[in-house]
A = this chain, B = another copy of it.
Amino acid sequence: MDAAAREAQGGLEWRVTVPEGASVAVEHEAGAAARAWAWALARVAAAWSAVAGFAGKVWRIGADDPRRAVHGLKVGLALALVSVFYYTRPLYDGVGGAAMWAIMTVVVVFEYTVGGSVYKCFNRAVATASAGVLALGVHWVAGKTGGFEPYILTGSLFLLAAAATFSRFIPTVKARFDYGVTIFILTYSLVAVSGYRVDELAALAQQRLSTIAIGIFMCLAVAVFVCPVWAGQELHLLTTRNMDKLADALEGCVEDYFAGGPAQAKSGGYRCVLNSKASEDAQANLARWEPPHGRFGFRHPYAQYGKVGASMRACAYCVEALGSCAGAEAQAPEHAKRLLRGACARVAARCARVLREASRSVATMTASRALDFAAADMDTAVHELQGDMRSLPSTLAAELAAETSLMDTMPVFTVASLLVEISARVEGVVDAVDELATLASFKQVDGDDDDDGKKGEAEMTMKVHPLNEPDTDVEAPSPENQAAKA
């Protein structure tokens, strides 16, 4: 900007021919003009850079997920298809001037995901039909009463609108029929009120219904057949992606703590998990409206993803606390950290492996023993860590008494305790994923044995798995645990 301003000033001075005597005034004027020019240039440059920055941001939004741009084109396509009804004489004569309802329907029901579109289409169709029938009935009754018609119609409108609006505060209605309630009130108002003037009320209602049906048909056809975005799949992806991020963050936080260096980029991944509830709920809500598609069958247990998400959030809260330990100013001395470093890193690595296995199991929709093995390894590592924690005093006494006091190890002990708690919560994630696997009938892989004793055998195999040291005290699985996992 400065350079531009100076250049502009120079350019102006060069062009001004200064007559004698008037030099001061002209120079002053030239200065003011130059300043104005420079100011304008600076504004233009600032505006340009703002526009360029904004354009870059918009471009990135599209480049990050090209389906967003495709979604825009899909809406345009659906609208263009519907507007054909207006331009084609025979079609237009068929539905009459009510073609605008088809356009309106496409504009308001077309959502990013198929589930969202189906939800709105269903709500719009059912609400329009039921409100139309009800309004016709009330209108017929009111017509019999003679002069009271406006009062009855307005009164019923008032009562119905109040009741319907209040019903939106009921959680189930809010989650599944919110849009339908709006359309119900809207249709009832239009039919009941306009019924006072328009004679062919039934024809109006029928016209409206048929045009809405055209709009819904167009909208669903484009949503399902042109690059569909399934809410269920988005939810599925969100869940696995968050699980991987959580695994990375867990490893990263422990590495950060023991390395003592600056925080790695991946350590912050748990933050995505912390605030994922709203989008998970929204997507699970929309996904239940979707027809079977790909690996997502009829009645796929989308609600269970919410439970998996909740277990991941519980885990993320603890990882957050762990991360703040890593970033704390008061740190344990290096030699104190060294005592539990190996065991802690092992627990973190195995917890992360369990999360990654769980993520892979969800992503591929298979239930494999690898997850059970990984969980067993994690248990072993946790028991080792707990053993190390218990034997700290003797370790200190034996080797390091001179150098390190037990007090120094206390912050490390806190980190280790958090890791033990995290591993318990990772178990919670595994349980939620196991339940999802049961509900969604994930395919069993590497199943070379009978199907019945599989789980029990996996539990037994833990103890002889090569990664497990034979002397660790793995607790026998209690009946409740097995019941919860099965």
Contact = CB atoms under 8 A, between A and B. Distances in A.
A107 B189 contact: yes
A72 interface: yes
A4 interface: no
Interface in A387-406: 389-390, 392-393, 405-406
Contacts of A406: 393, 406-407
A278 B281 CA distance: 11
A108 interface: yes
A100 B278 contact: no
Range, interface on chain A: 35 or more
B58 A157 contact: no
A251 interface: no
A389 B417 contact: no
Most buried by B among A92, A160, A194: A194
Copies in the complex: 2
Contacts of A83: 153-154, 157, 189, 193
A227 interface: no
Most buried by B among A72, A197, A405: A72
Interface in A82-119: 83-84, 86-87, 92, 97, 99-100, 103-104, 107-108, 110
A84 to B, nearest CB: 8
A72 B161 contact: yes
A163 B159 CA distance: 41
Contacts of A194: 86, 97, 100
Interface of A: 57-58, 61-62, 68-69, 71-73, 75-77, 79-80, 83-84, 86-87, 92, 97, 99-100, 103-104, 107-108, 110, 150, 153-154, 157-167, 169-170, 182, 185-186, 189-190, 193-194, 196-197, 274-275, 277-278, 313-314, 317-318, 320-321, 324-325, 328, 389-390, 392-393, 405-407, 410-411, 413-414, 417-418, 421
A348 B73 CA distance: 56
B321 A57 contact: no
A73 B414 CA distance: 56
* 5 pairs of A and B residues whose beta carbons are closest in the complex: A72-B166, A278-B278, A76-B162, A76-B158, A72-B162
A108 B197 contact: no
A32 to B, nearest CB: 35
Given A97-B197, A108-B182, A321-B317, A162 B278 contact: no
A62 B100 contact: no
Contact of A79 (B189, B314, B324): B189
20 contacts: A61-B170, A62-B169, A68-B169, A71-B165, A75-B165, A76-B157, A79-B157, A83-B153, A83-B157, A86-B193, A100-B194, A104-B190, A107-B186, A277-B278, A317-B320, A317-B321, A321-B321, A321-B418, A324-B421, A406-B407
A134 B107 CA distance: 18
A189 B393 contact: no
B185 A107 contact: yes
Given A72-B165, A321-B321, A325-B421, 4 more contacts: A72-B164, A76-B158, A83-B153, A92-B197
Contacts of A169: 61-62, 68
Contacts of A197: 86, 92, 97
A337 to B, nearest CB: 15
A162 B77 CA distance: 8
A390 B330 CA distance: 13
B393 A405 contact: yes
A273 to B, nearest CB: 11
Nearest to A418: B321
Nearest to A104: B186
Given A103-B190, A393-B405, A414-B414, A185 B150 contact: no
A280 B413 CA distance: 37
B414 A158 contact: no
A344 B417 CA distance: 18
